[in-house]
């Protein structure tokens, strides 16, 4: 655990952040990819539900709000229903959108994704449909945005530019914003587009291109750290940056500072579920930390952690300060498996992200005192019933109440870590009650699994799960495996 980073999280406060860039609406249509259409050789998707999220620069604003920042968004929307939805969602999140101007000459930017499950499982994105006009904003729109920004800049702690190349971040607008911010001593950090010409970011405090973007901007292939340092140095000097920060996916981040510092910040290995949104999360936390007064090195380390937490989630998801603290407080930043063990509220948040992808949640529970081959086979069968497996684990007190004073043989921390090391197990949640009913009611699994030595009528929570359309699965008994018999044999040995 890094005490400096823990202290930084505790002292982030509520900085005021201006996010400038391309507001978008991400729409998802979920369903079953049932068969081939009779009209044409295409997959027929039977749609079940829709979901809308804020994307682009408005996604960065959303992440910052979840982290406790006060946020103002500057950009454009169209004079249409989707523009209204974007504004309403910003309002619901308490994000100031006074500087989001309505452009009657273009549609709101929407990315619509169709996600289908094959055989009611394994959701896959089938197609993405974009509604957009990428032409540069007019001078009149630019002036409207700047009038609001100029009036609010004195209240701002940092400016973040989230450029998705949809027409908002023109050289003219960025030049005005950078000049106005620098005159007031306000840092400007830009997440740039992919391209060869980065002159419009000249004068920013820092930019955060990824490996490919930095390579394209400097004419290099960044396949080793020497090339990374050459590219970072070129960007820092040519664009008059305080710092060039290159994100290197699984290899962390590299910093080249004006004062001569050149430092690589590796990141620890993660279970990568989805890289979507990782760049936005890094940008958000980097900006938040800098706004709170952190040095670039501390800000990058914290952003590395937040980016790692983001890739462990499905889709564009938010990360909280509590999650960063929990990650920091793991002994020696342990390997990924202990992160599977989490409090119920955190588990529910993680499970919700997976559900948004259309994944089916399986739940089972037990003491798992001395893990044996029968347990492993049981958990593998349980996992095969859906897309992720949540295991409710009896606490030490709960095991004693059920099994007697001599149990458990292994402490709760050991039992939970062993379970978390199994590939079949996605999350472990510890509970103190004699039954897992409370967990079942909160998690609402699609499938509830118990051993075949139970009848469906006797399974705790079975009737509840079936009441909302879930099902109960009785897993095969593997004879010859018994925790009690195993403990007796060990004691007799």
pLDDT confidence band for 201 (50 / 70 / 90): very high
Phi, psi angles (nearest 5°) of residue 209 = -70, 155
Mean pLDDT of 352-378: 84
Beta carbons of 25 and 108 less than 8 angstroms apart: yes
Please say if the pLDDT value at position 323 is more than 60: yes
Query: What's the pLDDT at 122?
Result: 65
DSSP character string of 94-114: T-EEEEEEEETTSPPEEEEEE
314: pLDDT strictly greater than 60: no
How far is Cα of residue 296 from the mean position of the Cα atoms in its chain? 22
Q: Which residue has the higher pLDDT, 329 or 405?
A: 405
Helix (H, G, I), strand (E, B) or coil at 181: helix
What does the mean pLDDT of the chain come to? 88
Nearest partner of 334 among 308, 369, 298, judged by Cα: 308
Q: Cite the active site residues.
A: 280
Q: Quick one: CATH architecture of 344-492?
A: 3-Layer(aba) Sandwich (3.40)
Axis-axis angle for helices 81-92, 57-66 (nearest 10): 20
Distance separating alpha carbons of residues 204 and 178, to the nearest angstrom: 6
pLDDT for 492: 58
Note whether 408 and 428 are within 8 A (CB): no
pLDDT tens-digit map of 55-110: 999 999 999 998 999 999 999 999 999 999 999 999 999 999 999 999 999 999 99
Measured CA to CA, the distance from residue 231 to residue 228 in angstroms comes to 5
pLDDT for residue 336: 38
> Residue 1: is its pLDDT beyond 80?
no
Given this model, what pLDDT does residue 325 score? 80
Long-range pairs for 96-100: beta carbons < 8 A, 24 or more residues apart: 96/70, 96/71, 96/72, 97/72, 97/73, 98/72, 98/148, 98/152, 99/18, 99/72, 99/73, 99/74, 99/75, 99/145, 99/148, 99/149, 99/152, 100/23, 100/73, 100/74, 100/75, 100/76
- Whether residue 378 is predicted with pLDDT greater than 80 in this model: the reply is yes
Closest alpha carbon to 318 in 340, 286, 350, 345: 350
DSSP 189: E
Query: What is the sign, positive or negative, of the torsion defined by CA atoms of 30, 36, 37, 39?
Result: positive
Which residues, other chains included, contact 147 with Cβ-Cβ below 8 Å and sequence gap of 6+?
none
pLDDT for residue 483: 54
Residues facing 418 on adjacent strands: none
Position 120 confidence tier, pLDDT thresholds 50, 70, 90: low
Q: Where in the chain is the domain with CATH 3.40.1190.20?
A: 3-334
Q: What is residue 201's DSSP assignment? A: G
Mean per-residue pLDDT, 132-140: 96
3-state secondary structure of 166: coil
pLDDT tens digits, one per residue of 142-153? 999 999 999 999
| Band of residue 119 on the pLDDT scale cut at 50, 70, 90 | low
pLDDT at 202 over 90: yes
When mean pLDDT is compared across 27-41, 49-63, 129-143, the lowest value belongs to 27-41
- CA–CA dist 265, 248 (Å, integer): 10
Among 94, 93, 75, residue whose Cα is nearest residue 83 = 75
Is 3 exposed, middle or buried (CB count within 10 Å of its CB: 0-12, 13-18, 19+)? Answer: exposed
pLDDT of the residue at 307: 81
- Confidence (pTM): 0.68
Letter string b/e over residues 14-25, b meaning 16 or more CB atoms within 10 A of that residue's CB: ebbbbbbbbbbb
Quote the pLDDT of residue 257. 95
pLDDT at 188: 97
Instruction: Give the separation between CA 433 and CA 420, rounded to whole angstroms.
Output: 21
What's the mean pLDDT in 445-454? 92
Phi, psi (5° rounding) for residue 254? Answer: -125, 135
Q: Rounded mean pLDDT of 433-456?
A: 93
Q: How many helices (H) and strands (E) does the chain have?
A: 17, 18
pLDDT-derived band of residue 309, with 50, 70 and 90 as boundaries? confident
Q: Tell me which residue of 337, 491, 357, 487 sits closest to 427, measured CA to CA.
A: 337
In this structure, of 39-53, 113-127, 303-317, 448-462, the range with the lowest mean pLDDT score is 303-317
Say whether pLDDT at 335 is over 50.
Answer: no
Dist CA 374 CA 478 (whole Å): 6
CATH for the 3-334 domain, from 3.40.50.300, 3.40.1190.20, 3.40.50.720, 1.10.3210.10: 3.40.1190.20
pLDDT of residue 273 exceeding 50:
no
Residue intervals of the chain classified under CATH 3.40.50.620 are: 344-492
Identify the weakest region by mean pLDDT among 45-54, 182-191, 255-264, 444-453: 45-54
pLDDT of residue 353: 67
**302: CB partners within 8 A, 6+ apart:** 5, 8, 9, 285, 286, 289, 294, 324
Unique residue bearing structure tokens 């930017």? 109
**How confident is the model at residue 21, as a pLDDT?**
97
Q: Hey, what are 258's tokens?
A: 């004006």
Asked whether the predicted pLDDT for residue 334 surpasses 50, the reply is no
The reply to whether omega before 408 is within 30° of 0 (cis) is yes
Token pair in block for residue 468: 């909302």
Q: Residue 235: which of 190, 279, 172, 267 has the closest Cα?
A: 190
């Amino acid at each position: 655990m890094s005490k400096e980073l823990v202290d930084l999280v505790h002292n982030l406060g509520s900085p005021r952040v201006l996010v400038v860039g391309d507001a978008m609406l991400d729409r998802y249509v979920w369903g079953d990819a049932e068969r081939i259409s009779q009209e044409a050789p295409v997959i027929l998707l039977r749609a079940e539900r829709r979901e809308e999220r804020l994307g682009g620069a408005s996604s960065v604003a959303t992440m910052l709000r979840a982290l406790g920042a006060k946020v103002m968004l500057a950009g454009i929307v169209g004079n249409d229903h989707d523009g209204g939805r974007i504004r309403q969602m910003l309002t619901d999140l308490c994000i100031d959108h006074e500087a989001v101007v309505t452009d009657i000459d273009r549609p709101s930017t929407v990315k619509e994704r169709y996600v289908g499950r094959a055989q009611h499982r394994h959701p896959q994105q089938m197609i993405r449909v974009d509604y957009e006009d990428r032409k540069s904003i007019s001078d009149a729109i630019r002036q409207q945005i700047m009038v609001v920004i100029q009036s609010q800049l004195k209240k701002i702690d940092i400016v973040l530019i989230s450029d998705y190349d949809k027409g908002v971040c023109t050289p003219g607008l960025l030049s005005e914003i950078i000049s106005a911010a620098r005159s007031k001593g306000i840092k400007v950090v830009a997440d740039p587009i992919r391209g060869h010409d980065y002159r419009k970011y000249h004068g920013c405090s820092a930019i955060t291109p990824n490996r490919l973007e930095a390579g394209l901007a400097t004419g290099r292939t960044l396949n080793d750290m020497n090339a990374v340092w050459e590219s970072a140095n070129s960007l820092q000097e040519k664009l008059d940056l305080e710092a060039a920060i290159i994100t290197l996916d699984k290899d962390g981040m590299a910093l080249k500072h004006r004062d001569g510092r050149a430092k690589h910040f590796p990141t620890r290995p993660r279970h990568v579920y989805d890289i979507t949104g990782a760049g936005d999360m890094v940008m958000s936390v980097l900006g938040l930390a800098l706004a709170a007064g952190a040095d670039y090195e501390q800000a990058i380390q914290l952003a590395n952690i937040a980016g790692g937490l983001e890739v462990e989630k499905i889709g564009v998801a938010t990360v909280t300060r509590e999650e960063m603290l929990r990650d920091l407080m793991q002994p020696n930043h342990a390997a990924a498996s202990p992160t599977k063990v989490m409090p119920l509220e955190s588990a529910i948040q993680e499970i919700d992200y997976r559900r948004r992808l259309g994944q089916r949640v399986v739940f089972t529970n037990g003491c798992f005192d001395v893990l044996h081959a029968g347990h492993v086979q049981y958990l593998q069968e349980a996992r095969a019933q859906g897309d992720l497996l949540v295991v409710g684990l009896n606490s030490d007190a709960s095991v004693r109440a059920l099994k007697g004073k001599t149990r458990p043989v292994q402490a709760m921390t050991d039992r939970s870590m062993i379970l978390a090391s199994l590939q079949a197990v996605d999350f472990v949640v510890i509970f103190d009650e004699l039954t897992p009913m409370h967990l079942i009611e909160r998690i609402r699994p699609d499938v509830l699994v118990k051993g075949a030595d139970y009848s469906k009528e006797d399974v705790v929570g079975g009737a509840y799960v079936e009441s909302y359309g879930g099902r109960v699965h009785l897993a095969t008994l593997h004879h010859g495996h018994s925790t009690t018999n195993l403990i007796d044999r060990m004691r007799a040995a």
